[in-house]
Structure 1
Amino acid sequence: MRYYRQAGDDGPRLLAVADQGDDADARDLTAVKPRLRTFRDLAAAADVADEGVDDIATNLAAEAPRVDAPADGDTALPLIPEEVWAAGVTYEISEQAREEESGMADVYLDVYDGERPEIFFKATPSRTVGPGEAVGVRGDSDWNVPEPELGLVLYDGEIVGYTVGNDVSSRAIEGENPLYLPQAKVYDRCCALGPCVVGAGGVEDPHNLAMSMRIDRDGETVYDDVTSTAEMARTCEELADYWQAHNAVPELGVLLTGTSLVPEGEFTLRPGDEVTIEIEEIGELRNSVVEV
């Protein structure tokens, strides 16, 4: 089941969508339960009932009115996590890209081969945008890239869903010195999530999903590549465990799991570019680019 947040006349409403394309069956869960307006509400209800989010949604969908399936530009950020965190150097290509940008290659080799993964803070809600909104590139950096990633949606530390994430990053700032990582990663509009959340039961194997990214500029495609989460050197469960270890994690959070699609050389995002990221079984996240 896919969950979307959509604006309504009296506030946000939570849509549950089964299937895809012409067969999509979209239901307005808020019409049945007016206090059920966000994915957080659904996750909380599932936690209390000790059931999966899809179990709760399926029961409500039987009574919920059918509505038009969400279209591009018709939905908002699918959830409002208290914090977004991310893992780094979880794919070999990511480790290679970090080596390219930095004169301290051993730092990244040690993380890729080490027992402990790299886990870092990425964004607050105010720094996170949804589908159709613009992501930001820093005005004090001349080398900025998108990073497409599978996002784990966690409620009380449990993986309850998945989403698509864009961990926009300044390679110039991080490459200058690894200690500048927070500035390279955390800034206005540095993160995008969407277009929906898929319940954990709706993804057959998160470690075997096709993932693609396309960047369009002035009507032409300047980057287009595909990979698979099967190339990830860590498991989702391992990353989630390290995120929570000795850490007071928020009730609702998102953990991005790293990337293997990095534009080659000194390619940099420019204002006006459009980034499209698609992950199998989840959906397509599209964002334009602005300078911040």
Structure 2
Amino acid sequence: MTLTNPDPKGTFLARVLRPGMGPCIARLDGDTLVDITSKTAPTMRDLLELDDPLAHVRAADGERFATLADLGPDGPALLAPCDLQVVKASGVTFAQSMVERVIEEQAAGDPDRAEAIRTRVGRIIGDSLAGLVPGSEKAAEVKKVLQAEGLWSQYLEVGIGPDAEVFTKCPTLAAVGHGADVGLHPMSRWNNPEPEVVLAVTSKGDIVGATLGNDVNLRDVEGRSALLLGKAKDNNASASVGPFLRLFDETYGMADVESAELTLTVKGEDGYTLNGRSSMSKISRPPASIVGQTIGGHHQYPDGFFLYLGTLFAPTEDRDTQGQGFTHKVGDVVTIAEPKLGALTNTVRLSTDCPPWTFGVAALMRNLAQRGLL
């Protein structure tokens, strides 16, 4: 699970748990981690809210305390790169995964019914959603056709309608990082990983960087009712972000985000392997427009936010039983990778078996105060 620097010319930040000390902000110099935590920027939130975070990171002196090879259970460990930011997520942003959400809803969360419904929905919808601009006149025409077929869905409303689906994925400081366990609620028997690009956004709405995320998803729970979205999405260790935050600079920007090609690998203890992809070039809404629907006069985020952008990936390959598609098993190792952002790896457990979340905002503030950083 040893990491490497995706691009030595890029500007990468990490949050690292240093044994006996606490969370620190680290710059990645080659394969070396440099602790640049300071009174000026004791948290990732404070660093990103600076007038020029890029200049601060490049000029900061710090302690070279570890290499990437030193990371692990007996040494420093990567945390999610977000700290005081709210973790938001946008859903149903790709046509292919949009259709799978309709299938979940039609199947009422029952994987046994999914294959027959998938065949019917595919026969009626086909490729009609590909390239459709949400909120356009053409999208309104498609809506009328689907309503006439009895297939209109709340997922299609947010997928091709004018308003994006944006929800809170997890509480502040609840996301886990590279190498950690990710959690499934024990009630779920139909679930999957969701490989996504995650944007770092300031309180002013400026997009300043990107990372990777696994928006762990319980298909059966959400399929029973969209009102169960909180139970389907927000459980102990159900949000993974990392491994690093890549700041926007002369080597990396929004064009790279919009052309990102994510790969997903799931390796089970039973010898099973799943390979998947998610191409950001096929997203239905421009990422900046999703950010614009999240923050503005209608909603402020004084500490900024990290935003999952959704995924093209929707696993339909059968794992065990024919017609039931894919679902996780405890012990699955999930790796989400993108050449310019690195690789995020986590092991699947039940949320009740993952380490409980105990280090919240109060604990962080006390820790920073004890270290003389506040």
Partner of 1:211: 262
Looking at secondary structure, tell me which structure has more strand per residue. 1
Structure 2 distance, partners of 1:59, 1:30, is 10
**Corresponding residue SS for 2:275:** strand
Q: 1:164 to 1:255 in 2, by over 3 A?
A: same
The reply on whether 1:200 has 2:206 as its aligned counterpart is: no
User: How do 1:104-119 residues align onto structure 2 when only pairs under 5 Å count?
Assistant: 106-119=153-166
Contact 1:217 1:274 in 2 (8 A): yes
Q: Secondary structure at the match of 1:78?
A: coil
8 A Cα contact 2:27 2:36, kept in partner: no
Write out per-residue CA displacement over residues 76-114 of structure 1, whole angstroms, 9 at most, x where no aligned residue. Answer: 222214421111111112102102211165222222211
Question: Which residue of structure 1 lines up, in the alignment, with residue 83 of structure 2?
Answer: 80
Partner residue in 2 for 1:155? 202
Give the Cα–Cα distance (whole angstroms) in 1 for the partners of residues 14 and 103 of structure 2. Answer: 38
Match of 2:338 in 1: 279
Counterpart amino acid of residue 90 in structure 2: A
Q: 1:4 aligns with which of 11, 14, 22?
A: 14
Deviation at 1:13? 2.8
Q: RMSD in angstroms over aligned alpha carbons?
A: 2.2
Partner residue of 2:145? none
Residue 306 of structure 2 is aligned with which of 254, 262, 268? Answer: 254
Matches within 5 A, 1:77-226: 77-103=80-106, 106-125=153-172, 127-156=174-203, 157-201=205-249, 202-204=251-253, 205=255, 206-218=257-269, 220-226=271-277
2:34 to 19, 22, 28: 28
Output the CA distance in 1 between the equivalents of 2:102 and 2:164. Answer: 17
Deviates more, 1:33-42 or 1:267-276: 33-42
**In the alignment, what sits opposite 1:291?**
350
Q: CA–CA distance in 2 between the matches of 1:267 and 1:81?
A: 34
Give the aligned residue type for 1:159. I
Asked if structure 2 preserves the Cα contact closer than 8 Å seen for 1:25 and 1:66, the reply is no
> How far off is 1:127 after superposition?
3.4
In the TM superposition, what is the alpha-carbon distance from 1:160 to its structure 2 partner? Answer: 1.6
Q: Give how far 1:56 is off.
A: 1.7
Q: Secondary structure at the match of 2:48?
A: helix
Counterpart-to-counterpart distance in 2, 1:164 and 1:249: 21
- Cα separation, 2, equivalents of 1:141 and 1:27: 38
Give the conservation status (yes or no) of the 8 Å contact 1:15–1:26. Answer: no
Ranges in structure 1 where 5+ consecutive residues have no aligned partner: 19-23
State the 1:126 CA deviation: 5.0
Partners of 1:260 and 1:164 in 2: CA distance: 14
Whichever of the two has the greater Rg, that structure is 2
Q: 1:70 aligns with which of 59, 63, 68?
A: 68
| Contact persistence 1:12–1:37 (CA under 8 A) | no
Moved more, 77-86 or 93-102: 77-86
Instruction: Give how far 1:227 is off.
Output: 2.9
Q: TM-score, with normalisation over the residues of structure 2?
A: 0.69
In the alignment, which residue of structure 2 is the partner of 1:14? 25
Q: CA deviation at 1:37?
A: 4.2
Aligned with 2:301: secondary structure? coil
Name the counterpart of 1:21: none
Q: Give deviations 1:167-223, integer Å, cap 9, x for gaps.
A: 111100111122222221122211111111110225242100110111010163521
- Does the Cα contact within 8 Å between 2:12 and 2:247 map onto a contact in 1? yes
Sequence identity percentage: 28
Give the aligned partner of residue 54 of structure 2: 54
User: Scaled by the length of structure 1, what TM-score is found?
Assistant: 0.87
| Total equivalences in the alignment | 279
Query: Is the Cα–Cα contact under 8 Å of residues 3 and 197 in structure 1 kept in the other structure?
Result: yes
Amino acid at match of 2:169: K
* 8 Å CA contact 1:214, 1:221 repeated in 2: no
Deviation at 1:288, TM superposition (A): 0.5
Q: Equivalents in 1 of 2:230, 2:211: separation in Å?
A: 23
Instruction: Check the 8 A contact 2:45/2:85 in 1, yes or no.
Output: no
Hey, what's the Cα distance between the residues in 2 that align with 1:230 and 1:129? 27
Specify the SS of the correspondent of 2:159.
Answer: helix
Shift of 1:67: 5.4
